[in-house]
């Protein structure tokens, strides 16, 4: 799975990084749901008063999604013999 990160400055001047954002094609099943949650999460991070500089979108989605859907989106294949 391909993950991306996003960096921006909030209105109070703090540089913030949102990590572990999955990259999905527009025709994939979970694209709309993740896009919708990402918009809400970025608004929440942008307007927060927290001093944190790094936020994880994966941990946010773990709290918001059903477990079966979370595993379908963020499932990582286990490599055989550390290959």
Q: What is the pLDDT of residue 62?
A: 94
Per the structure, the count of domains in the chain is 1
pLDDT band, residue 1 (cuts 50/70/90)? confident
- Listed in sequence order, the residues at least 6 apart from 51 whose beta carbon sits closer than 8 Å to its beta carbon are 14
Which tens digit of pLDDT belongs to each residue from 9-44? 998 889 999 999 999 999 999 999 999 999 999 999
Host domain of residue 10: 3-82
Q: What is the pLDDT of residue 34?
A: 94
Mean pLDDT of the region 60-83: 85
């Amino acid at each position: 799975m391909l993950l991306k990160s996003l960096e921006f400055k909030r209105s109070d001047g703090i540089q913030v990084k949102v990590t572990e954002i999955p990259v999905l094609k527009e025709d994939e099943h979970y694209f709309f749901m993740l896009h919708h949650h990402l918009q809400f999460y970025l608004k929440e991070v942008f307007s927060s008063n927290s001093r944190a500089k790094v936020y994880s979108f994966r941990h946010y989605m773990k709290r918001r999604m059903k477990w079966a859907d979370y595993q379908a989106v963020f499932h990582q294949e286990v490599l055989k013999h550390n290959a």
